[in-house]
Amino acid sequence: MAAEGVELMRAVVINGEWAPRRELSPEEVAGRWARDATAAWREPTWTLDEREVPRLAGPYDVLVRSKAVGICGSDVHLYETDDEGYVLLPYRVRLPLVPGHEIAGEVVEVGAEVRSVRPGDPVAVQTLHYCGRCGACRSGLPGHCVDAEDRGFTIDGGMAEFVLSRESNVRSLAAVRERYSERDTYEIGALCEPASVAYVGLFLRGGGFRPGGVATVHGCGPIGLASVSLLRAAGAAKVMAFDTQPARCELAERVGADAAYDVNKLRGDGMRPSDVVLEQTSGEGADVCVEAAGAAAAVLPEIERSISVGGKVVLLGSESGAVPMQTMAYMLRGARVYGSIGNIGGLDPVIALHAAGRIDLRPIVTARFDLAAATDAVRQASLRQDAKILVMPDRGSI
């Protein structure tokens, strides 16, 4: 029972058993968190619980009513376990917490010094709270901050009725609302998080490409599909996509791929993705190759056979294991490989691109669940048949 004057909200809460199986730093042990969750957290549980509605704690705080929250592959990795019961997510994690880092909602209350948004505004919530002190932050790469707090992983996320953020992590969706309905605005806001991950990898870390180039995207989950759409918007002459799910291949063509290929069907026909790329480019290969499948062991050999001279490889998929590389393939072609993670610097551009109608990722939403069914949502996501599943904490209002 809540104390008098305390307002409660429904929230999904992940808990787990703290059982370090590798040596952790004194800081990790003292704080009961791990830079690599696979080393410490086992037997995760997802439950619907009651928590206190967060209150403004400072003049720059913003209280948001969650409207749409995407389920990411990283959320699935906090649901699935290995043979010893340990979670599969190799990220920094502190439990218990509310998951959800692809968040859009309506501003409910703002601190005294907040200027960029006001109550009633639709917003997207950026997840990373970087420290500003570490070498990565000081060198202009805050997305790689070593001491960041990450919403949905180390601090409470959006799978609750309300979420508290600071103003610097909130972005208005007012321009999107001018083009789309209220429900579409919030769904687009949630989709902007994976889209901004793709944007950062392609354009901020990878440096973009010359319009008229050829691009391949391996893996047609949300980040891969966003990559397809962004590559098309940026002027790629040809975009080829590859996935093992026919339904995802269809979605890739809906959001901008010239052609999308079922990898299993190709194999049945005695072909490889790299064969298709070389055939479609008269042997020259692709100028930009995106690994978004999280299956680099299978994808990199295809890229190594089909990357163009001077081509770029952008790594966006989450692959926790060691992967062999044929380094000579990159050397002979003068190819460059870029690793990227996070979305710092990408949220504003993808919001603007949606508002302008240059990209439209609405087709990738394949299922929606109420907050009470969030565990069912993550279970369905673990089947890896959908593109993007959304949890709608306030579904009845939009």
Model confidence over 216-242: pLDDT tens digits?
Answer: 999 999 999 999 999 999 999 999 999
Whether 354 and 333 map to the same domain: the answer is no
pTM of the model: 0.94
Whether 85 and 155 map to the same domain: the answer is yes
Q: Residue 386 in 3-state DSSP?
A: coil
Helix or strand holding residue 126 (H, E): none
Around Cβ 6, how many Cβ atoms within 10 Å? Answer: 10
The number of domains in the chain is 2
**Is 200 a domain residue?**
no
pLDDT of residue 6: 81
Whether 189 and 212 map to the same domain: the answer is no
**Is 330 a domain residue?**
yes
pLDDT of residue 118: 98
Domain stop point among 319, 339, 359: 339
Whether 167 and 51 map to the same domain: the answer is yes
| Whole-number Å distance between alpha carbons of 83 and 290 | 31
Helix or strand holding residue 273 (H, E): helix 273-280
DSSP 200: I
**Is 78 a domain residue?**
yes
Whether 88 and 123 map to the same domain: the answer is yes
**Is 77 a domain residue?**
yes
Whether 13 and 136 map to the same domain: the answer is yes
Positions in the chain whose pLDDT score sits under 50: none
Q: Measured between alpha carbons, how far is residue 34 from residues 76, 93, 128, 194, 318 in Å?
A: 18, 6, 17, 24, 18
User: Residue 302 sits in a domain of what CATH number?
Assistant: 3.40.50.720
Residue 365, CB-side half-sphere exposure with 13 Å CA sphere: 22
* Pairing mode, strands 162-166 and 128-129: unpaired
Q: Which domain holds residue 288?
A: 207-339
The set of residues, in sequence order, having a beta carbon less than 8 Å from that of 387 and lying 6+ positions away, is: 220, 221, 222, 225, 247, 248, 251, 364, 365, 366
Q: How far from chain centre, in Å, is Cα 277?
A: 27
Whether 39 and 174 map to the same domain: the answer is yes
pLDDT of residue 128: 92
Is the separation of the CB atoms in 377 and 389 below 8 Å? yes
Phi, psi at residue 107, to the nearest 5°?
-65, 130
pLDDT of residue 4: 66
